[in-house]
A = this chain, B = another copy of it.
């Protein structure tokens, strides 16, 4: 069957088939089309090439940085060349944090092992110590609760070391991350409020190695800013072991700066739907990344997944009935400025995102599409989607409750469904927020399969909707 013939069948099948056979005939057509999506994706995808450019030629894309600006322009060009009706830039304000050059954490007073450097990386929003550095005694805690239970006098003037590991028994590593990341996100602010002069956090990974993992830490306007750095899990184990035997002082030096707020952009490709232009289907990832790697899995993969999923459908001759948006969100990592700007403008216009699909969990083999939404509409709308379960599961992709994503969650009030692509998560935190998050950590087929899963869902959403019209 030629593609053109298939498209004709797709368009006319509900009209001419007796109703008792419509479902099975449609299913066959859909199975056939989804097979085409996968075949095309595994043979003709460009997503790996795009990702290679994003993560290697452009590299780190921290919001406010020249890399982020280059990524905005690059993805604007890619979408413009790939058949979107319009590609526009949507302004948003972003913080402009700069790491600086030197980052030092070292043990300076050990009787037993002398001066020892620990692999470290500053956390986003950390201030710098400046060239003089700071030296202080270390106290180790395993949780924010443990810290807050201490007498502030015992914390004042010290360096607080948060050392609770991610739980290795969590099958889904994002749950282990969720169970530990409060130390990085909130720990330094709490330490500061108790008079600490700096905070050191065990890297967020289940792997034992010497690679430090950066990521955001958050101070409120009331907090005194202090230097905050992550050290590798090997370094954390070493430091902790030494502290069993002797009091330890650390020398910390970094040169971070929080500069004036900067302007950046979401990049939005759009195709207007032929039948239901007011029902929007969004796919997206975030274009910014941390600065120390190439942001290949986080979240270059999600960006190229998103573009590729729509391009695949266009290349197969599919004509959108609903309006498609492909959104490269800016600054997921440090404040969600892009996502908030997007939702605000969308709400102001009274738009309806029937479905939003985010990919922000890496470019690994897809295992599930997790579905979420406002509780008032979820059961009813999920029922429509659930009917597609077998078609997706035959490609190893389950439809499970629990979806969404940081960039699309602000759209929940529009009462559509929110989907998160869930790739296999075992390797994600080997690379997340590190210098290793480069193209060679991405397998091309695994990446392409993620785009194929998203394309299959966009196809079904576009063809059938979820509102029973």
Contact = CB atoms under 8 A, between A and B. Distances in A.
Given A365-B426, A424-B424, A38 B171 contact: yes
A43 B168 contact: yes
Contacts of A365: 365, 424, 426
B42 A168 contact: yes
Contacts of A395: 171
Interface string A122-134: 0000000000000
A296 to B, nearest CB: 15
Contact of A443 (B42, B430, B444, B449): B430
Given A365-B424, A424-B424, A426-B365, A38 B446 contact: no
Interface residues of A, number: 23
Interface in A424-447: 424, 426-427, 430, 443-446
Of A39, A426, A427, which is in contact with the most chain B CB atoms at under 10 Å from its CB? A426
A152 interface: no
A234 B426 CA distance: 30
Contacts of A424: 365, 424
A430 B395 CA distance: 21
Interface string A224-241: 000000000000000000
A206 interface: yes
A154 to B, nearest CB: 32
A384 B449 CA distance: 34
12 contacts: A38-B169, A38-B171, A39-B169, A42-B168, A43-B168, A43-B169, A171-B395, A171-B396, A365-B365, A365-B426, A426-B449, A430-B443
Interface of A: 38-39, 42-43, 168-169, 171, 173, 206-207, 365, 367, 395-396, 424, 426-427, 430, 443-446, 449
Given A42-B168, A42-B169, A426-B443, 12 more contacts: A38-B169, A38-B171, A39-B169, A43-B169, A171-B449, A207-B444, A365-B365, A367-B396, A424-B424, A426-B445, A426-B446, A427-B446
